[in-house]
Structure 1
């Protein structure tokens, strides 16, 4: 009882402070959240409190289409109308800046480079805004999405905004059909060749440039085609962004093959600090939001299965057929 009362008092104090702030001050608190408890002398909300400490973030607690989720293959609906994704780079290589944000490894393309996706479950063209890495302190965890209750060592999220309807990411993320996130699971392997794109990001000469929060490093000559595994199969569902304010404007597309990195590259990720160099070291690993309830949503896929499953009430009338993709179950 005492613990609950103390937390409530902290939240109450936060609301008193912010209620007297000037208009537009909510942006000052956009980064006022954490994935795990942080020892720094002040209360910073972890995922279970995101929706309680700021009224602008109430979807994090009350939303009905939240992400990430646990993908249960028995609940997937085969949809033959799901065409392959189309990726357009204009034939150019990508340049951008890699950041240690204190929460993620983030690669933001230079605005001069247009990379967009369309097709698949998308009715519009979506422009790449950011590539974000999630990873764990152990090899059995680190991905935000789970597969049949099991996690992967990491997850690459390619975050795009709807460039047909909206002028920029900030407008799109709070608007219908605003965001498309392509997810690729990361596996650690001694036998598979490391992914060429991630190899550029995670080689020692590069990753050591962003050891601490706010560090940044410019990368040039990246080929987006190198990041995507060789597959046209994926899983898709309607959900949310996985950081506050948890807007429910995202179409998620989970690619049906993983990418590989080396054990040394994963170790290098775990050595990245959430803090500036003058503060105590705290690894950025385990930067994941817990999975959220699926509720009434459908998980669609263009992966063929050999047995029948349930019909999706808000989808086209298609007799579902299942075939489990073997790599996903290993």
Structure 2
């Protein structure tokens, strides 16, 4: 399994002991970074410079557990003690990043400390079949209301089950935030089967802006950090690749999505 096609990562929500939050960067010089060194004719620190322009971001340059990774199945280890995922909508919000509510009072504390954050990554397979969740999410009525960062719109009858693929398999490793300050406090969980997405849906996503309306329009594209080395980390999977034809069946071996309620979509 490689990186997500088209440079798009679709991130889901982790369940039970993690509380859903919206991560809003501080409006200071510490937010001065980009995925490209040149942005609209001006130099902005890109990934190779993140760890050099701010001492608080040093892990971006010298860290040993950085993300994202290119997952090589030959390096995976089967872990029979990994249980199937149970995902939660987190009330009425679709969220990207979760923090460990049992250990830390807020996301700021969690992001700086061990086992603080969790991110689920879903790979996208570009083809003729549309994703039902994105079809509902990216319709004309909705897309005009969530064009910019922090825009919000309440969607009824939108089920997260339509986003996730039919699988119980996943790969997990200990990694980092993929943006400055690159804290190495994230448990990454990669669902081992991609969702289907069409080129039209990708185009609709790229019509969204990463910025506020008052700022220069930046398309929701080319927004991924380069791959980082695995080094001494292990990639664990709940699927035994030595027996690829073996498939566990039944309710206990499916990816569960709890609380399918009206969702608030937040850019």
- What TM-score do the two structures reach when normalised by structure 2? 0.73
Aligned: 1:293 with 2:225:
no
Decide whether the 8 Å contact of 1:237 with 1:297 is kept in 2.
Answer: yes
Measured in 2, the distance between the counterparts of 1:196 and 1:215 equals 24
| Structure with the larger RCO, 1 or 2 (CA within 8 Å, 6+ apart) | 2
1:323 matched residue in structure 2: 244
Which position in structure 2 is the counterpart of 1:219? Answer: 154
Deviations 1:24-80 (A, max 9, x none): xx8613321101134345431111111110000000001000000110111111111
SS in 1 for 2:52: coil
1:95 maps to which residue? 92
Q: CA deviation at 1:275?
A: 5.2
Is it true that 1:182 corresponds to 2:120 in the alignment? Answer: yes
Change (3 A) 1:282 1:258: same
> Which among 149, 164, 168 is matched to residue 106 of structure 2?
168
Aligned-CA RMSD value? 2.5
Between the aligned partners of 2:110 and 2:67, the Cα distance in structure 1 is 17
Q: Could you say what secondary structure the match of 1:241 adopts?
A: coil
The answer for the alignment partner of 2:63 in structure 1 is 63
CA distance in 1, matches of 2:32, 2:111: 19
- Tell me which residue corresponds to 2:257: none
* Alignment of 1:233 onto 2:230: no
Q: TM-score, normalised by structure 1?
A: 0.60
Match of 2:263 in 1: none
Distance 2:160 2:152 in 1: 18
Query: Highest CA radius of gyration, 1 or 2?
Result: 1
Q: How does 1:1-330 map to 2 (within 5 A)?
A: 28-40=28-40, 42-89=42-89, 95-96=92-93, 109=94, 130-131=95-96, 159-190=97-128, 192=129, 194-211=130-147, 213-214=148-149, 216-221=151-156, 222-274=158-210, 281-306=217-242, 323=244
Structure 2: gaps of 5 or more residues: 1-25, 247-267
What's the offset of the Cα at 1:282? 4.4
Report the Cα distance in structure 1 between the residues aligned to 2:154 and 2:126, rounded to whole angstroms.
23
Distance 1:214 1:70, change over 3 A: closer
Say which SS state the counterpart of residue 52 (structure 1) adopts: helix
CA contact (8 A) 2:131 2:196 kept: yes
Q: Give the secondary structure class of the aligned counterpart of 2:112.
A: coil
Alpha-carbon displacement from aligned partner over 1:246-292 (angstroms, at most 9, x marks no partner): 00001111011111222211111223344566776543311000000
Equivalent position of 1:11 in the other structure: none
Q: Is the 8 A contact 2:149 2:209 kept in 1?
A: no
Separation (CA, whole Å) in 2 of partners of 1:162 and 1:52: 30
SS of structure 1 residue aligned to 2:221: coil
Q: Aligned partners of 1:324, 1:291: CA distance in 2, in Å?
A: 30
What is the rounded CA distance, in whole Å, between the counterparts of 1:214 and 1:89 in structure 2? Answer: 21
Structure 1 residue 324, shift from structure 2 partner: 8.8
Distance 2:86 2:190 in 1: 14
Q: Does the 8 Å contact 2:127/2:197 carry over to 1?
A: yes
Which structure 1 segments of 5+ residues have no match? 1-25, 97-108, 110-129, 132-158, 307-321, 326-330
